[in-house]
Structure 1
């Protein structure tokens, strides 16, 4: 059976936890792969790689970082069919919706291509007697993202695209239910010219999440998922001194028709 590994420091890593999750093909209901679940050791390795990479990546001028984003966008577009098929086989979306998932993520990458203008600071001459004021934008260091199963391409690109473009490195913990697309995106980011370690992907469960939230070298965490877990991520992350962006819920409106099974409808919507 195919085994899905972590992507750390530019290479596939099996991991040492001995724990695995099953990756189903929703189109057939069959298990199609096993995904390695990270231990604290894998999280530490991913963060150490990201720290090393970020020290050099932050010194790359914004124009060169933007060129990497341009090349990444080009590679994702060139591999759109592969990514859509991969996404469909693990999530269950039809190919058209899978391509839309990727395309919505690319829209953020397009914004990241213009990052040199966004990173401009400000200068005010004569703010007071003998006082001039200026501001500078500088990267934080290592950022992390914890993403849900429902948009395995779009939401990771929302997070790591901007973070990497501004000079951070990134550790991504995608859903273990459909992990292949995020790993492929990390491979394409390296192919686009990002140094190894700038984007690492670790697959895991609560053990990996807690390790991310507590790791002293991770300066910021972004999360998308359920409201309960968003509260958990926010409280644990901020208690550890991190900047945390926790987006929970995002439920759509639902209309229950008069002939519906009310108990089943409540269960499915909630």
Structure 2
């Protein structure tokens, strides 16, 4: 089911919803220049949909959500967008953040604390951004894509995004999915792609206050977000469990979808009321 909620400043946030209506919700937050379609392997897994209500959001400026002219540098905008999705989800939710989605979760924690959360899963995620920020350390693939991937000149941006898409996974992923990733990136306006990097965010104190179960998942071969970012967040969050996906790149939920979904199902079940 496709639906929407209204986020902060009246921005329309698009959602994809699957699964059992009255079950524990799992809310998925995608990464930079992507959309809710990235979670296709989770939204289509009967082992998840029969037990949980899956809600995947399109971040502002991405997918089918509205594209406001400003606000991408404001933690409260991101936090309140996610809060609107959590209100829609109803019960306290497991929130899963991939890549830049981890920073959006950190924004939520900064503004709202752990209210409405049953647990957190960080997947190949950053929790900080800015020069020298340990929780936002990028890898060679991300560094190679910038600044070309932010250009409004298609002759500059398209080749950079093609290579960035190709190099995200360490293992092969279905060709249709890889092309969908590229399409999602190209659909995000260049100004939005660039605006997401115009931030300087430190999150150590925010992470140290987390009082809900946290699972940190990261591919050992991730060259988009450096594995040290996972070690940083896991080290700052009390009681966090760090789970490495050996030889996986930046897409462990696609590269090894079966094992990822199993780990998510176990974690979500353990946090159920």
- Structures share fold, TM-score greater than 0.5: no
TM-score (norm 1): 0.26
More strand by share: 1
- Comparing both chains, which one has the higher relative contact order based on Cα–Cα distances under 8 Å and sequence gaps of 6 or more? 1
TM-score (norm 2): 0.26
Q: Rg larger in 1 or in 2? A: 1
